[in-house]
Amino acid sequence: MRNFILKRMATAIPTLLGMSMLGFFMVALTPGDPVEMELRRLGVIFTPDQVAALRQEYGLDQPIFKRYIDWLIRLFHLDMGQSIASGRSVLEEFKTHLPLTLTLASLSLALSILLSALFGITAALTRSQTLGNFVQFFSIFLVSIPSFWLALLLLFIFALSLEWISLLGSGAWYDLILPVFALSLGSAATMGRLMRDRILTVMSEDYIRLAIVKGLSPSLILRRHITKSILPPLITNWGVTFGALLGGSLIVENIFNLPGLGQMALQAVFERDFAILQAYLLFMGLIFFASNFIADLLNYWLTPHFRERTNSQGGAK
């Protein structure tokens, strides 16, 4: 177990380093000077000297590699710099915006799992051809819809036509209902199809037939035998999906006007707010890594085969 975790941590280091580099340079090399942008936004008439002074204050006059190394070193002290636009520290900004996005993504993942289980199990277990086809069609339909379009559609129906909710949001918990649906329906459909295929494959396995032949109750077979077999690939998928949902929140948050990380990031793009963007990209990478890691850890517990293989490899080293 410890070996497995250590090994995964070790492989994470080059990945994260690569991501940090990519994120940093991509942002730093985009055209547009953040200081000039900020000054222009404030409507200040500025002289080249003033710009130079400000650039020095933010360390933007340094060569780019030195800036990267400095940034990396400060990162280890959880100092990700300062937002040029708001003047607050990046950490502060994250603390303000992160909870909403995490809630949104977690709720969306939960809803996706719930809906996909409903889809998948019904589609797999039903003998009715019509119902099977309907579920199949519906899931292809949902998979094909981009989340921003679904978000606009939901807003159009519930805010403009039915007027059940306010277009601007009211800051209450139910503001999250539509965004959660907009985010999760697509992934629920993908996951539902995966679940259906897995269940059908597993049901034709000999060990499920043995369970049937033993005379076990269908509910026990479903709860114990089928679930244990379909869970590992699904968990891996959930890990990836969670990362994707966090990323997808960028669009949905902006459409629904939710002050989360996505909105923060998009604003930072418009303002060339380097510090925020660089931290956001690294954070997204980290979340992707972490959710995959947690998924692998769960699978490690669930599959004896996997557990022993990784252990024996770890022991050989």
Partner 1 sequence: MVDTPFFKLDHLTICHQNNDQKPIIDDVSFSLTQGQRLGLIGRSGCGKSVTSHAIMDILRPPLIRKQGQATLLGQDLFTLSLAEKRRVRGQGIFCIFQSPGSALHPALTIKQQMSEISTVTHQDKTTITDAIEYAFDRMQLPLRCLEQYPHHLSGGMKQRVLMAMALLLKPRLLIADEPTTGLDVLTERDVLSAMGIMLEETQSACLFISHDIRIVKKVCSDLLVMQDGKIVDRCTRDELTYRERAETTREIIDAMRVA
Q: Which two tokens stand for residue 157?
A: 């129906």
Instruction: Tell me the window of 28-36, 45-53, 208-216, 233-241 that interacts with partner 1 (CB under 8 A).
Output: 208-216
Residue placing its CB nearer to partner 1 in the complex, 108 or 229: 229
Would you count residue 205 as binding partner 1 (CB under 8 A)?
yes
Among 305, 315, 316, 317, binds partner 1 (CB under 8 A): 305
Which residues are registered as beta bridge partners of 89? Answer: 82
Answer for which of 304, 315, 316, 317 binds partner 1 (CB under 8 A) is 304
> CA-to-CA distance for 34 and 271, rounded, in angstroms?
7
Q: Is 1 in the site for partner 1 (CB under 8 A)?
A: no
Q: Which of 6, 74, 224, 313 binds partner 1 (CB under 8 A)?
A: 224
Indicate which single residue of 303, 310, 311, 314 sits in contact with partner 1 (rule: CB under 8 A).
303
Q: State the sign of the Cα–Cα–Cα–Cα dihedral 50, 52, 55, 57.
A: negative
CB 84 within 8 A of CB 35: yes
Q: Which of 262, 288, 287, 259 is nearest to 277 (CA)?
A: 262
Out of 64, 110, 140, 210, name the contact with partner 1 by CB under 8 A.
210
In this chain, which stretch among 75-83, 161-169, 187-195, 207-215 interacts with partner 1, using CB under 8 A? Answer: 207-215
Closest among 156, 185, 168 to 245, alpha carbons compared: 185
Q: Which listed residue (41, 74, 88, 228) binds partner 1 by CB under 8 A?
A: 228
Q: Largest Cα–Cα distance of the chain, in whole Å?
A: 86
Q: Please report how close the Cβ of residue 137 comes to partner 1 at its closest, in angstroms.
A: 21
Q: Which of residues 145-204 bind partner 1 (CB under 8 A)?
A: 204
Evaluate whether 281 touches 16 at the Cβ level (below 8 Å). no
Q: Does position 220 bind partner 1 by CB under 8 A? A: yes
| Site track 247-276 with partner 1 (rule: CB under 8 A), x = hit | ------------------------------
Binding-site size, partner 1 (CB under 8 A): 23
Query: Could you tell me the CA-to-CA distances from 258 to 41, 98, 169, 181, 247 in Å, in that order?
Result: 23, 11, 8, 14, 14
Least Cβ distance, residue 193 to partner 1 (angstroms)? 19
When binding is defined by CB under 8 A, the residue of 153, 212, 270, 313 that contacts partner 1 is: 212
216 binding partner 1? (CB under 8 A):
yes
Q: Of these, 13, 42, 172, 213, which contacts partner 1 (CB under 8 A)?
A: 213
Single out the residue of 41, 66, 74, 209 in contact with partner 1 (rule: CB under 8 A).
209
Place of tokens 């026990």: 220
Residue 52's φ and ψ, nearest 5 degrees, are -60, -40
- Collapsing DSSP to helix, strand or coil, 89 comes out as strand
Q: In terms of residues, how long is the chain?
A: 317
| Residue 37 beta carbon to partner 1: minimum distance, rounded to whole angstroms | 56
- Which one of 137, 156, 174, 207 is in contact with partner 1 (CB under 8 A)? 207
Contact status: 95 vs partner 1 (CB under 8 A) = no
CA 184 to chain centre: 11
- b/e map of 280-316 (b: 16 or more CB within 10 Å)? bbbbbbbbbbebbbebbbbbbeeeeeeeeebeeeeee
Name the token pair of 22. 């990519």
Cα–Cα distance for residue pair 208/316, rounded to 1 Å: 35
What minimum distance in Å lies between the beta carbon of 310 and partner 1? 15
Where does this chain bind partner 1 (CB under 8 A)?
204-207, 209-218, 220, 224-225, 228-229, 302-305
